[in-house]
Chains A and B, each alone.
Chain A
Amino acid sequence: MPIDVPKDNWPGSVRTVVLGATSTEGGTRSHTLTIGGEKALPFMHFEGEIPNRPLVAIEIKDHRPEDWSPLLLETWGEVTDDPAKWAQAAEQAGADLILLALNLMDRSGNPKSPDQAVAAVKAVLSATGLPLIVFGPGQAEADNTLLVPVAEATKGERLVLGICEDKNYRTIVAAAMANGHLVDARTPMDVNLAKQLNILISDMGLPLDRIIMDPTTGALGYGIEYGFSVMERLRLAALQGDAMTQFPMLVTPGFEAWKTKEAKVGEGTPASWGEWQERAINWETLTAATLLESGADILVLRHPDSVKFIKGAIDELMAVPQLA
């Protein structure tokens, strides 16, 4: 006797967002990528369309980040000195897209100049045809100083610029609007703050299909459950029809997991923590895999092994199940 499984029939859906632009569209990417569009909860193919697979971005810096875990520096090796080479290595390692995170200082220890930032972005755009996300150093003033010239110099490329938060969104959104880019709207693990920022950004006139939500998530062991639940609540609200939550979500497991002690420190740690390298990769992989289940559309990772595991998981999750 067939069982009548309760199905969710949602009135709303997540907006579709296109990343990057090819030459016919005013950019130089070899192809564009599309995210979002979900009409059901994560991977619930049996009751709604999940048209686009989540994407894996690899985070690179514009010069060697000495404060990164030694394991990462060892894995990537020499390419960390050259963002163009690093972008190519990242593409080889399976990245769907690249996230270039600009350092606050340049190699000599002086504040990075707009020219240097633009040069780094252009170098990456020449080295790879993958769509690109560009993050500033993460301080409101520096972000504005660097991202506006970057936005102007790359007009038409449909980059994702980040991060926009309540303190500095106006300048970056204006630059995105004027130059055809998208924004990463970041809030600290709070459903209402996320909605609020999306409202503020859309009030400025940025088209809604150029906003990506970044709800912030802690790493495994350092607050992941807060981010996980905020994401589930945001996705449920979107499907229930709340227009100001109907955006794809970007998460940064690489950044979060690799700043933990578990990933950075190999000496003087408890024996119960096990072997360092595997533990660090597992920490990133498990953080990312958890957020995949709560609706992440872009996962920004740092280690090539995590990229492999997560892409494998995405392949499996996107397979429509053959239920008898």
Chain B
Amino acid sequence: MALSGIQIYKLLPQTNCKECGFPTCLAFAMKLAAKQVELSACPYVTEESKTQLAESSAPPIRLISLRSDGYEVKAGNEVVLFRHEKTFYNKPGIFVKIRDDSSAEEIKASLAPAEKFVVNYVGIDLALDGFAVESHTGEPEVFAQAVGAVRSVTRKPLILISRDPTVMSAGLRAIDGETPLISAADGRNWEAMAELAVQHRAALVVDGETLEELADLTEKIKAKGVEDLVLHPSETGLSTVLTYNVQIRRLALKKNYRPLGYPVIAFPTSLPAVAQAITKYAGFIVLDRFAAQYAYPLLVLRQNIYTDPQKPIQVQPGLYEINNPSPQDPVLVTTNFSITYFSVANEVEGSGLPAWLLVADAEGMSVLTAWAAGKFDAERIAKGVKGFGVDEKVSRKRLVLPGHVAVLSGELEGELPGWEIRVGPREAVDIPKFYRQAL
């Protein structure tokens, strides 16, 4: 909640000295409110005013950035409760937890599949963001060795988990020159943890059973000079987690409540818990296991929920070649919504069957949505055929429409005399069978 011009004016010297270049302090205050000028232009503003002004213009949810060699994971800077109000900005970092109670070799081996995991989704490569090392033995040296083992096989950011400052200290010494997240400070160890955070420039997770406990701790820790904080409210069941996450975000966005103006970390142990973490505001997510069939769907969900609703992903309209088509091969028509395009392209590609794929400009909408909105009709398809020179590439004039717009075939025949218009299946997954049987 930024301050208004009047509120800012009250914090200025109110002398109208004009040294900032404006005729009055009120005029300067208005410019500041509109972010059209820097506070530094005023030579006489007091330190106290400077602090107050800085606080109010800070984002409601602090941006926390974890960095390691060539990698960065960010959370925070969110401005809405519902993605449809604007968008969610910073995808929650997804980490896999490793325990320190195995040998270095076992740790490295169990990490390998997660470390190199990457899966392609609509042309985007999705991967995990880092690893969390958890102390189970309570032994500082064992922990340090485990952290070292993890660091030797991955360059991605790390989260270190221990309540014991001695153990944590040992772990931190095994990694230096990076910005890890350390978990966690609580009512008993916060002073020591805060010191470690300052010393090693780490971000710090704050644990609390209630919002009051969390707020109390963050203020104490901030007074010790640690501002990069992450909140971990009590995780006793999906209902409690959801309630706290919602309350924290509301306090930050609706009241600019600074003591809880930080991202939240979640440790989900089931897929519904992961769904909740992704849809309801977690900034960091630590998984208790890794398997490709578990990671792939949740990485896709994160991508989906954090897509800007105003900018559906699109591909460039045009004539695409799949599996080296010859002039005799069929022309399939689809729209330029990414999910639509990739569903169709992947099916055809995977089948090995050669085809031309005419991607019509449907303003990034799927077949049905575009058709309902009048953005995918016979006229547009014909325009695409002519505009992308399909005539020149193809000798056998055969066009296959998506099944959902079968109604367009008559009209399209009118727009494209000399072309044979066929109606294909409704679902991309049925294209190979249709191609083999009907084309």
Interface residues of A (CB under 8 A from B): 1-6, 43-46, 188-189, 218, 220-225, 228-229, 232-233, 236, 259-262, 264-265, 268, 270-276, 278-279, 282-283, 285-286, 289-290, 292-294, 309-310, 312-313, 316-324
Contacts and interface: CB of A to CB of B under 8 A. Distances in A.
A317 B291 contact: no
B300 A317 contact: no
B293 interface: yes
A53 B307 CA distance: 30
Interface in B277-295: 278-280, 291-295
Given A188-B372, A261-B347, A220 B237 contact: no
Interface in B224-265: 236-240, 242-244, 246-247, 250-251, 254-255, 257, 260
B212 A274 contact: no
Interface stretch (B26-34, B102-110, B268-276): B268-276
Contacts of B297: 220-221, 262, 279, 282-283, 286
A261 B429 contact: yes
B396 interface: no
B279 A6 contact: no
A98 B218 CA distance: 50
Contacts of B117: 272
B366 A225 contact: no
Given A272-B118, A309-B271, A229 B291 contact: no
B83 interface: yes
Nearest to B125: A272
25 contacts: A1-B212, A5-B250, A5-B251, A188-B372, A221-B300, A222-B339, A223-B339, A229-B83, A236-B82, A259-B427, A261-B347, A270-B119, A270-B120, A273-B119, A275-B293, A278-B293, A278-B294, A279-B296, A282-B294, A283-B297, A286-B298, A289-B271, A309-B272, A312-B272, A313-B273
A46 B212 CA distance: 16
A188 B368 contact: yes
Given A3-B212, A272-B119, A272-B120, A290 B242 contact: no
A312 to B, nearest CB: 7
Contact of B300 (A43, A220, A261, A309): A220
B49 interface: no
Contacts of A46: 243, 247
Contact of B307 (A6, A225, A259, A285): A225
A221 B304 contact: yes
Given A286-B298, A289-B276, A5 B346 contact: no
Contacts of B215: 3
Contacts of B187: none
Interface of B: 82-84, 117-121, 209-212, 215, 236-240, 242-244, 246-247, 250-251, 254-255, 257, 260, 270-276, 278-280, 291-298, 300-301, 304-305, 307, 309, 339, 343, 346-347, 350, 366, 368-369, 372, 427-429
Please report whether the interface of chain B is mostly helix, strand, loop or mixed according to DSSP.
Answer: helix
B272 A279 contact: no
B271 A259 contact: no
A318 B240 CA distance: 10
A320 B239 contact: yes
Contact of B237 (A265, A294, A319): A319
A148 to B, nearest CB: 25
A273 B292 contact: yes
A265 B343 CA distance: 14
A4 B272 CA distance: 29
Given A272-B118, A275-B291, A323-B210, 7 more contacts: A3-B260, A221-B301, A289-B272, A289-B276, A309-B270, A323-B243, A324-B210
Contacts of A310: 272
A221 B293 contact: no
A44 to B, nearest CB: 7
B293 A274 contact: yes
B429 A45 contact: no
Contacts of B209: 324
Nearest to A193: B372
A46 B211 CA distance: 14
Given A229-B309, A313-B238, A290 B301 contact: yes
Contacts of B307: 225
A316 B237 contact: yes
A317 B242 contact: yes
B62 to A, nearest CB: 18
- The residue in A233, A265, A285, A321 that gathers the most chain B C-beta atoms within 10 A of its C-beta is A321
Contact of A317 (B82, B239, B305, B366): B239
Contacts of A271: 292
B277 to A, nearest CB: 10
A260 B347 CA distance: 11
A292 B260 CA distance: 27
A271 B257 CA distance: 46
Contacts of A218: 339
- The residue in B215, B250, B272, B295 that gathers the most chain A C-beta atoms within 10 A of its C-beta is B272
Given A220-B301, A225-B309, A274 B250 contact: no
Contacts of B350: 268
Nearest to B255: A6
Contact of A44 (B243, B276, B301): B243
Contact of A43 (B84, B239, B372): B239
Contacts of A278: 291, 293-294
Given A224-B301, A225-B304, A279-B297, A321 B237 contact: yes
A24 to B, nearest CB: 35
A44 B247 CA distance: 10
The 7 closest A-B pairs by CB, nearest first: A274-B293, A274-B292, A313-B272, A289-B275, A279-B293, A272-B119, A289-B272
B78 to A, nearest CB: 16
Contacts of B280: 293
Contacts of A189: 369
Contacts of B301: 220-221, 224, 286, 290
A236 B242 CA distance: 17
A316 B238 contact: yes
Contact of A323 (B121, B240, B291, B369): B240
A92 to B, nearest CB: 22
B31 to A, nearest CB: 31
Contact of B240 (A260, A273, A279, A321): A321
A273 B297 CA distance: 9
